[in-house]
Structure 1
């Protein structure tokens, strides 16, 4: 018998500059925010573990999308709030 309990986490508020939101393996969220596709100021941030990209430049949406998705696929941190 499986006695594990699954907890549903509340989705955090969506920032005005949200471009993409991924759900992590742990049930948290990774947000990609910024001005849009052709800007190097886009960023991602994980609501579970707090990780974010270390690079300051080169975060165009086509590349940051892959990094954020890879993180969401591996992150097992759960939301603490």
Structure 2
């Protein structure tokens, strides 16, 4: 999505902060990219951002967590 001004940035940020299912988010203004983490339906998040900003939203990549006990996204399980 195009994030060309601070107003767009604030609208996206407020939309993301209202979503309880998101654990964290990262808004990269220069790359026009928003990354979110949590347990959610990606289409629902895209729709909510679209309604809030009135901008086209495209889902670029979806990564799902692996089963417990395996290394996940660079994080190692704690050692006993």
TM-score above 0.5:
no
Instruction: Tell which has more relative contact order, 1 or 2 (C-alpha 8 A, sep 6+).
Output: 1
Higher helix proportion (structure 1 or 2):
2
The structure with the larger Rg is 2
